[in-house]
Structure 1
Amino acid sequence: MSISRKFPTRHAHTLKTHSGPVNTVIFSSYPGTYVLTGSTDRAIHLSRALPSSDTHSLVETTRPIQKYEAHGYSVLDIAVSSDNARFSSVGGDRQVFLWDVEQGSTVRRWTGHSSRVEAVQFAGEGDSIVVSGSADTTINLWDAKSNAYKPIQTLTEASDTVSSLHVHMPTYSIASGSYDGRVRIYDLRMGRTTVDVIAHPVTSVRCSADGNAVLVSSLDGKIRMLDRTDGKLLKAYGGESQVGKFGEKYMNKSLRIRSVFAKGDAVVLSGSETADMESKENTSQAFVFAWNVLTGDIIATIPAGEGVKVISCVAWNEKGQCWAGACADGTVKIYS
C-alpha cells in the first residue's frame, strides 16, 4: 500500500481548551497517549491525544486534564523528558521553566536570556541538560540535575533570533535554525560547528532518525531536506509550482511554522499560513501538507477549517500513527 493511502487524515479529536492561538503542540514520550499544548493565553495544557472510547465520530474536549500556569507571556515551545516525568517550556518571558508533571509546578526557572525564548529541547544522559534558543541570538545549555542558575555553556554563533532547535543524541549534536538564514549543527563531541546558508529566515529544523538529513523550513515558502555532512540539497517541498487537490499552495512567508518528519521519516508534515494573513475576512483557511520524502509529491492536504489562517506547529506520534496541528483559533486538531 502506498504512503498516501496509509497517511492518517480522519479528524478524530478537537481540543478547545485554550483561549488564544496555540503556538506549540507535542506528544508525550512513548507511547504518546497525551499532548501538551502551549498558547498565547500563557497556559500549558495536558490532554488526552485521542478519545478514550474508540468512536468513529469527531470528539471535542473543552477541559484539559491538567493546567500548568506560571508563564507571564505567550508560551512558544515545549519539550518532554523521555520518562514523561518532566517537561520544559519557554516563551515571551525570557525564562526557561522546568516542570514536574505530577506536581504541576516548576522545579527550576532559569533566567539567563535577555529576550523571548523560542525553542527548547532536552539533551544529555537521562535528560540531564535543557537546551534553549532565544531572540537574544544565543543558545544556552542548562544543568537540570544541579541547582546552578547559570548556563553551563552558551553558543553565540547566530546573529539573529534562534527560532528552532533539535537535539540528536545518537550523534551528540544540536541542530539550530536562525532568522539570520543559517542552519548550524553543533557536534558536541568534536567541538565543531557546521553552517549551511539558506538565505531566508529559518523557522524550523528537524534531524532525521538516523541523523543523516536535516529538514529546514524557511520564510521563502519552501521546506528543504539537506544532507547533514555536506549541506547538499536532497529534496525541496512546497514552492509556487506545487498545487494540492483543492488548488491550494503551501504558504509560509511571515510566521514561524514548524515542520516534522512522519511515518518513520517517509513523510514530511507541515502546517501553513494563508495568503491573506492581514485581511479581516474569515473566509480563507490554511492547510496541513504532507509530502512523500523521496519524490517530493504532495500526498495529502488537510484543511484547518474556515477562518483558521495559520497552523503554526504539527506533531507526529509514531506509535499511535496519529498527528496533531496547533491552530491560530485556539484549537488543536488530532487526526488518526
Structure 2
Amino acid sequence: MDVYDNNTFNGNDDFPRKILSQLLGSNGPVHAVTYSASPGTYILTGSADRSIRLYNPIPASPSSSTTTTTTLSTSFITKPSQAPSTTPPQGRLIQTYTSHGYEVLSLSVSSSNATFASSGGDRAVFLWDVSTATTIRRFSNQGHTTGRINSVIFAGVDDSLLISGGHDTTVRIWDVRSQSSSRPVQVLGDAKDGITSLAVSPGGAEVLAGSVDGRVRTYDVRMGRLVTDVFPGAVTSLCLARDGKTVLVGSLDSKIRLMDRSNGQCLRTYGGDGNANGDAAGGWTNKEIRVQSVLGGGERWVVAGDENGAENSNGEGRVWAWDLLTGKLVAKLGVPWGPGGGKVVVGRDGKEKERKNVVSCVAWKDGGFGNQFCVGGTSGVVTVYGEA
C-alpha cells in the first residue's frame, strides 16, 4: 500500500508513523473516534455535524496525486526532503447514521459489533443497529438533566449495560435489555463538576469516572464502595490497561499520568517536551479542552493528541507518543488538514490567521494491541496511521 511519508523521530523505528488513509465526509470537527470490536476492521466517527460515520480505513485504490511532506522544527525529529510524496488515499465511507440533534461526543461499540452506542449534546444516549442504521433505543427519560453527555461505554455481561457521564455531574447506568423502562438502574452523583470520561474494569465490577473537579472516582458497584483519587487539574481522559491494574489519566495541567490502581501511586508522568525538561515552549499541551490519550502498540506507548498545532506555519495538528516504561518521547507526528488544506479565519484583531488543526480524539485498533491508530479533531478529517 502506498503511504504518506511523515516526520520520523530518531529512536523507535517500529512506531506506526505512516499515514495509511484519511476519512472524509464530516462537515465539522470530529469529537469521537473508535474502532469496531476485535479485529477492528472498521472505524466509527462522531462529528459536530450531528452525524456518525462508519468507514473501512483501507482505500479501494491508492491515490496517485502528490503533496509535500511536513517538517516540524524540533531537534528531536529528522527533517525530510521537500520532494513530493504520495497523498494519503481516502478510506471508504460505508454508512452514515443520523438521529442526534446536536454534536456527537462519544461512541462505544459492543463486543458483537452488531450494535453501538452514542451520546452528545442532546442529553440522550442512543443505541444503534449497525446493519440497518436505525436506533434501537433512546435513553433520555429520567436521564441527564442538563448539558451534554460527554462519555458512554458498554458494560456488564454480553454488554447488557450502558454507562453514561455528562455535564450534569452524574454517572448513569442503563439496562440495555429492559424494554419496560427508560429509567437508569443506578445514578452515581458524587462528582462536583461535569463527567468527562469513563472506563470499566475487566469483568465490569468497577466503573471509573473522570471529572472536571480533578477527581477520578472508582465505583465498585457490587460492593457499594467508592475510592477517589485527586489530580492537579480537571481530568479529561481515562484509559485502562487490559489487565485493569493501571490506568492512564490525562488532565488539564498538561500531564498524563500512569496510575497504579491498587495503591493510587503515580508510576510515570508524560508530557512537557518529552526529555525530562518539563513544559518547554512547543511542548505537549492540554490546558483548555478535552484531549484524549490512549495506550497503544501492545501497551508499549502512550499516545495523545495536542490542543496546539504543529510548530510550522501550516496549521497542522500533532500527535505525541511516549515510551510507557521510560517516559521518553518516541514520536511526534504532524497531522495534515486533508484536501483543501488549512482554513483561514479572522481573529479579534481583524487580521486573517490560519486555524489550528487541534487533535482531540485518538483510538488504537484492537484495544491498543493492533498495528494501527487513528486521530480526529477540528479539521473534520480522521487520519489513520499504520506500519509501512
Scaled by the length of structure 2, what TM-score is found? 0.80
Measure the CA separation in 1 of the matches of 2:55 and 2:309.
Answer: 31
Q: Paired residue for 1:167?
A: 200
Question: How far off is 1:275 after superposition?
Answer: 7.1
Q: Which moved more, 1:49-58 or 1:69-78?
A: 49-58
Q: Retained in 1: the 8 A contact 2:309–2:318?
A: no
Q: Do structure 1's residue 135 and structure 2's residue 167 form an aligned pair?
A: yes
Give the structure 1 partner of residue 381 of structure 2: 331
What's the CA shift for 1:229? 1.5
> Which residue of structure 1 lines up, in the alignment, with residue 300 of structure 2?
266
Describe the SS at the equivalent of 2:177: coil
**Equivalent in 20, 31, 39 of residue 23 of structure 1:** 31
Following superposition, the deviation at residue 169 of structure 1 comes to 2.8
Question: Paired residue for 2:361?
Answer: 313
Match of 1:11 in 2: 19
Match of 1:187 in 2: 220
Which whole-Å deviations, capped at 9, do the CAs of 1:122-172 have from their partners, x for residues lacking one? 000000000000100000000000112000000011110100001123362
Letter in 1 for 2:364: W
Whether the 8 Å contact between 1:17 and 1:63 is mirrored in structure 2 is no
Does the Cα contact within 8 Å between 1:186 and 1:192 map onto a contact in 2? yes
**Mapped contact 1:175–1:207 kept (Cα < 8 A):** no
CA contact (8 A) 2:35 2:43 kept: yes
**1:297 counterpart letter in structure 2:** K
Identify which range, 217-226 or 162-171, moves more after superposition: 162-171
In structure 2, distance between residues paired with 1:53 and 1:284: 28
Name the SS of the counterpart of 2:203 in structure 1: helix
Matches within 5 A, 1:136-155: 136-147=168-179, 148-155=181-188
Matched, 1:78 2:107: yes
Q: Does the 8 Å CA contact 1:274/1:284 hold for their aligned counterparts?
A: no
Specify the structure having the higher radius of gyration (Cα). Answer: 2
Q: How does 1:1-336 map to 2 (within 5 A)?
A: 4-52=12-60, 57-61=86-90, 64-111=93-140, 112-114=143-145, 115-147=147-179, 148-170=181-203, 172-239=205-272, 242=275, 248-274=282-308, 283-305=314-336, 307-318=355-366, 320-336=370-386
> Tell me, what secondary structure is at the counterpart of 2:158?
helix
RMSD: 2.4
User: In the alignment, which residue of structure 1 is the partner of 2:351?
Assistant: none
Distance 2:201 2:152 in 1: 13
Cα distance in structure 2, aligned partners of 1:58 and 1:107:
39
Counterparts of 2:309 and 2:234, CA distance in 1: 18
Against the structure 1 CA distance between its residues 4 and 229, is the aligned structure 2 distance closer, same or farther, given a 3 Å change threshold? same
Structure 1 residues 93 and 329: alpha-carbon distance in aligned structure 2, compared to 1, 3 A threshold: same
1:226-259, Cα deviation, whole Å (9 max, x unpaired): 1112211100000267489xx8410111110111
Q: Residues 74, 189 of structure 1: CA spacing in aligned structure 2 closer, same or farther, 3 A cutoff?
A: same
**How far apart are the structure 2 equivalents of 1:60 and 1:42?**
25
* Percent of paired sites with the same residue: 42
Deviation at 1:308, TM superposition (A): 3.9
* Consecutive unaligned residues in structure 1, runs of 5 or more: none
Please list every run of at least 4 consecutive aligned residues from structure 1 whose deviation after the TM superposition is greater than 6 angstroms.
none
The whole-number CA distance in structure 2 between the counterparts of 1:153 and 1:33 is 34
Deviations 1:257-291 (A, max 9, x none): 11111111111011011179xxxx97443310011
- Report if the CA contact (8 A) 1:123-1:169 is conserved: no
Question: Residues 140 and 171 from structure 1, CA distance in 2 versus in 1: closer, same or farther, beyond 3 angstroms?
Answer: closer
Comparing 20-29 and 198-207, the one that deviates more = 198-207
Q: Output the TM-score relative to the length of structure 1.
A: 0.92
Checking the alignment, whether the CA contact within 8 Å between 1:21 and 1:330 is kept in structure 2 is yes
Whether the aligned pair in 2 keeps the contact of 1:116 and 1:134 (CA below 8 Å) is yes
CA distance in 1, matches of 2:110, 2:274: 40
Distance 1:256 1:11, change over 3 A: same
Deviation sequence 1:297-317 (CA, Å, 0-9, x none)? 010111112654311111001
- Select between 45-54 and 210-219 the one with higher mean Cα deviation: 45-54
Distance 1:138 1:326 in 2: 27
